[in-house]
Amino acid sequence: MKTIRFGIIGGGLMGKELASAAARWMHIEAPGARPEIAAICDVNPAARAWFMDHVPSCDFETDDYHALIARDDIDAIYCAVPHNLHAQLYVDIIEAGKHLLGEKPFGIDKAANDRIMAAVAAHPTVLVRSSSEFPFFPGAQAVVKAIASGALGQIIGVRARFLHASDLDPNKVINWKRMVDKNGAYGCMGDLGLHVMHIPLRFGWEPSRIAAQLTKIVAERPDGKGGSVPCETWDNAAIHGMVDGQGARFPITFETRRIAPGEMNTWEIEVDGTKQSIAFSTKHPKTLRVLDYTPGGPQDWKHRDMGYASAYKAITGGIFEFGFPDSLQQMMAAFVDELANGRDGMAQPFNCATPEETAASHRIMTAALGAAL
């Protein structure tokens, strides 16, 4: 089995999750290759120490990402850093010939994304993909398959949402995601937008006309030093658009909320059609909602337990539940699979979010900033 040696730039929450996914690779039927975490880069010594202490294969640490991407024994990079660093680091990684799995949104703004897209175009042999794990939940995969099959009939409308609740607490200490210079003017859209746009954009559902409702709810937050600072970014956003094409015209809504009372990292999508409607939410991770309709017949939503019906087969029994660490490992498997076997040779058809999809998300988010109501 081929080994793909990864370097991680950014050893925070998501870097650790990726290392954990690689460590338990025996969990899935690997697609002819396996990842190995070989190096860590972070400016925080404690973050680097965690990797050196917990990841046996990790034998190189540095606070300088240039030293990491210059190594000949590193095949691919997972990069999870604040948005203001994306353009410089992603371009440098790509130009160093390292395959890249980067965190969304692939640039703090559209100009930064354009820089990344130019590097992608100039280095066609480098595989570049964006992190977006929620579409790898079994219920989300069922939605993808239903759309691709044409079973839904004419599309009536689409709604995709990502909901958080922790920022309802005004005493929560501010972090970089609430700072325009690090997160960008998109606010909650930048960090959460590709999550809700991944599946619609995979089917070419980029809205041609957009209106947006953007709200700032908490004006300032504690700075962690005894004072308070302005909370600059948008807390909640709803982007409403109209999709034209594919023989139909239908509305689409992308909702990203950091202040959604009672919600804890809830991702959901509903696609309504004239023959079938289908919906999935991570709030009920093994439940798929389906409404089959024939003219004149009843309109009843039915609940179907999905169990552990993952894109890549795993050792977990089908009767058990699927969770976030599983979705991240499945996403990593798709990246490793495509890198090892090529797009046409993948063991299953759904690949990670593409650079082109990140570019479409930037067009949508930039339009939303200019069309806020």
- Per-residue model confidence as pLDDT tens digits over 232-241: 999 999 999 9
CA gap 325, 328 in Å, rounded: 5
Residue 273 has pLDDT above 70, yes or no: yes
Q: In this predicted model, what pLDDT tens digit does every residue of 83-115 receive, in sequence order?
A: 999 999 999 999 999 999 999 999 999 999 999
Reported as a pLDDT band with limits 50, 70 and 90, residue 373 is low
The answer to whether 248 touches 279, Cβ cutoff 8 Å, is no
Q: In this predicted model, what pLDDT tens digit does every residue of 201-231 receive, in sequence order?
A: 999 999 998 999 999 999 999 999 999 999 9
CATH architecture of 134-320+354-370: 2-Layer Sandwich (3.30)
The length of the chain, given as a count of residues: 373
CA gap 336, 5 in Å, rounded: 10
- Residue ranges covered by each domain of the chain: 2-130, 134-320+354-370
Select from 323, 281, 306 the least CA-distant residue to 163.
281
Q: Which residues pair with 9 in a beta bridge?
A: 41, 79
CA gap 294, 273 in Å, rounded: 11
Residue 77 has pLDDT above 90, yes or no: yes
* Positive or negative: CA dihedral 95, 352, 47, 265: positive
CA gap 180, 51 in Å, rounded: 30
pLDDT at residue 89, as a whole number: 98
Strand locations in 189-265, DSSP E? 209-215, 220-222, 228-230, 236-245, 248-257
Reported as a pLDDT band with limits 50, 70 and 90, residue 246 is low
The CATH number of 2-130 is which of 3.30.360.10, 3.20.20.140, 3.40.50.720, 2.60.120.560? 3.40.50.720
Alpha helices for the chain (secondary structure H): 13-23, 45-54, 65-69, 86-95, 110-122, 138-149, 180-183, 188-202, 324-341, 355-370
Residue 95 is classified by DSSP as: H
Tokens linked to 160: 């995709």
The answer to whether 308 touches 321, Cβ cutoff 8 Å, is yes
The answer to whether 105 touches 35, Cβ cutoff 8 Å, is no
Select from 82, 59, 80, 62 the least CA-distant residue to 70.
62
Q: Which residues contact 307 (CB under 8 A, 6 or more apart)?
A: 138, 286, 318, 319, 320, 321, 322
CA gap 189, 257 in Å, rounded: 8
Q: In this predicted model, what pLDDT tens digit does every residue of 296-331 receive, in sequence order?
A: 999 999 999 999 999 999 999 999 999 999 999 999
pLDDT at residue 133, as a whole number: 97
Report percent pLDDT > 70 for the chain.
Answer: 99
pLDDT at residue 166, as a whole number: 87
Select from 324, 282, 279, 323 the least CA-distant residue to 304.
279
Reported as a pLDDT band with limits 50, 70 and 90, residue 177 is very high
Reported as a pLDDT band with limits 50, 70 and 90, residue 278 is very high
pLDDT at residue 32, as a whole number: 87
Select from 236, 267, 223 the least CA-distant residue to 167.
236
- Our CA angle for 287, 290, 292, nearest 5°, is 160
pLDDT averaged over every residue in the chain:
96
CA gap 43, 171 in Å, rounded: 27
Residue 248 has pLDDT above 90, yes or no: no
Q: In this predicted model, what pLDDT tens digit does every residue of 24-43 receive, in sequence order?
A: 999 998 778 999 999 999 99
Edge-first strand order for the sheet with 155-163 is 209-215, 236-245, 248-257, 155-163, 266-273, 276-281, 287-292, 302-305
